[in-house]
Amino acid sequence: MANADGGWGLHTEDKSTVFGTALNYVVLRILGMGPEHAAMCKARERLLALGSARAIPSWGKFWLSALGVYDWEGMNPLPPEPLLLPTILPLNPGNWWVHTRAVFVGMCYTYALRRTMPPNELTRALREELYDQPYESIDWPAQRNNVSSADRYVPNTIVLGMFNAAMGIYERWRPDIVRSRALREALFQIEMEVRNTHHLCIAPVNFATNMLAIYYAHGPDSDLFLGMRSRLPDVMWLCREGLAGCGTNGSQLWDTAFAVQAAADAGLAAMAENRECMRRALEFLESTQIRNNPEHMQRTYRQPTLGAWPFSTRDQGYTVSDTTSEALCATVILQRSSAMPKLVSDERLYEAVDLLLGMQNRGGGFASYERVRGPQLMEMLNTSEVFGSIMVEYTYPECTTSVVLGLTAFREAYPDYKPRQIQKCIKNAINYVVRAQRSDGSWYGSWGVCFTYASMFALKSLACADMFFDNCWEGMRACAFLIDRQNPDGGWGESFESCEKKKYIPHPDGSQVVHTAFALLGLMAARCTYSDVIKRGIIFLMRRQQDSGEWHQESIEGVFNHSCAIRYPNYKFIFPIWALGHYAELYGNLPLID
């Protein structure tokens, strides 16, 4: 997993950074690898060349401080007091993006306590290995804004600098009574997060910060801590390179919903030999729908969850607009088949629809976990340094399209349930998608790589309004964008750099199976009349398929916050099958290659 220069990046396809190299180096040392191992010497050389751990971004500063190999004075202040502010103020974390809020709460608790692991032989050695000068000589306050250029994705703003300076003054003069109250509120938020997610937390990042806080607050023998410890395997998985960590506790619901729709669209779901598989998928969809709202929902700033489907499992317990919509679509498709049992009642489907109707934002778009609560100006206080668009929720063409597709499928099966509200929601959502189209005909993707991914979704939205290649300017421009980027071998391949730079960049390795499937599904949804373009893409997928029936893992498929890539290993099966099956349904299942 290490790069050729010995370092590691923010994700598996990233260049070497201080954040990735320092933290992976520390982990390997904790696991017992000695400092003189060839890999460690090479990693240490790369780390020092990047500016040493002094130049690690804020999240890295936190973890190294907690371990005792960085000084808390080297961090910009992270006070818990914003939790005491009225929710009407944007600075209250309830108005932030849910993941940023979750990470902040866990970090600010430990930061406010300034708790650090007691020194031992390993931490004393790391103090020597991680830095380019003696540990005792480092001017820690001068390191607060020291972030390597290899790591930084967003610059610090003047507003953030002023805010950090003000918080530094506050930290010296803060009233103890206010700090105590803020710590109690932070701990309450942490405890509720742990309880409402059955000890999982929304994702592994705040799972780790919360576990540390629970350890300090309640001890290693407490029920909360032991419950979290039992959940550690949930966020680990064995990939082809070995044991790895997940960005969540999986993508089970997300993958299942797509797989069902792909099977249905390809005609596979109707086959007798696949009936048992589809029935089990429906059972999973039924068991994963969330049947209650979170405890202390208002105080913990949570979106209602009754009727929602989460990204992964019901235990994780967070509403997501697109996962709810894709699961709604898959459930309706399966239950409309006479061969399938009706496991999800009408009332439960109504709950999902009502939830979605309540998540639409001004302008018609849908965000990810919640409605947009805070102003985009909050990005001026983005302290992460390595992520973009992280402070508040945003609306996305992908999430919006998922809702359009889910509500459209529901409306076809239940035309008498809130028809006017659903029609208005769909109309406004599609209008948002139209406005989100870029001047070159594409849409920017925030959850997948990148323009091919978002264009697939957006063209499906337009199709729900009977807007296609041959009857609307938006559909024609979008198809032209994709056609112009088809490679000579018939496939498409887009680099992750497109997400970072927000412009289309071809993949250096050429065509990719998943990107090709994205483009084909978009073109077919738009009823693109250039059938030869589509045929060439289909032939590319067929030629890339292995004798075993599978497709090999290629480049990374997913993204979040513009700068961090994440794998979706099942995409290489789901979307090519979907594209091939849909092509056969549209054009006939005729032989294309010898």
Query: Which residues are known catalytic residues?
Result: 322
Q: Is 244 helix (H, G, I), strand (E, B) or coil?
A: strand
Instruction: Count Cβ atoms within 10 A of the Cβ of residue 392 and give its class: 0-12 exposed, 13-18 middle, 19 or more buried.
Output: buried
Contact of 262 with 578, CB cutoff 8 Å: yes
Contact of 98 with 369, CB cutoff 8 Å: yes
- Residue 587's φ and ψ, nearest 5 degrees, are -110, -5
Q: Provide the CB-side half-sphere exposure for 226 (13 A, CA).
A: 3
CA separation for the pair 313, 315 (Å, rounded): 5
Nearby residues of 137 by Cβ (< 8 Å), 6 or more positions away: none
Q: Provide the CB-side half-sphere exposure for 513 (13 A, CA).
A: 24
- The label of the residue with tokens 């904790």 reads 30
The strand ranges marked E within 332-485 are none
Q: Which two tokens stand for residue 8?
A: 């590691």
* Length in residues, the chain: 594
Q: Which two tokens stand for residue 58?
A: 């804020």
Contact of 575 with 262, CB cutoff 8 Å: yes
CA separation for the pair 7, 1 (Å, rounded): 9
CA separation for the pair 506, 487 (Å, rounded): 9
- Residue 418 one-letter amino acid: K
Measured CA to CA in angstroms, residue 139 lies from 92, 171, 184, 283 at distances of 32, 19, 32, 59
- Residue 370 one-letter amino acid: E
CA dihedral 358, 362, 367, 373 (to 10 degrees): -90
Instruction: Count Cβ atoms within 10 A of the Cβ of residue 267 and give its class: 0-12 exposed, 13-18 middle, 19 or more buried.
Output: middle
Q: Is 499 helix (H, G, I), strand (E, B) or coil?
A: helix
CA separation for the pair 527, 240 (Å, rounded): 38
Q: Which two tokens stand for residue 89?
A: 């103020």
- The label of the residue with tokens 């290649």 reads 469
Contact of 168 with 77, CB cutoff 8 Å: yes
DSSP 8-state class, residue 350: H
Contact of 123 with 69, CB cutoff 8 Å: yes
Rg (C-alpha) for the chain, rounded Å, is 25
Contact of 57 with 385, CB cutoff 8 Å: yes
Q: Which of these, 503, 536, 544, lies nearest to 520 by C-alpha position?
A: 536
CA separation for the pair 399, 84 (Å, rounded): 32
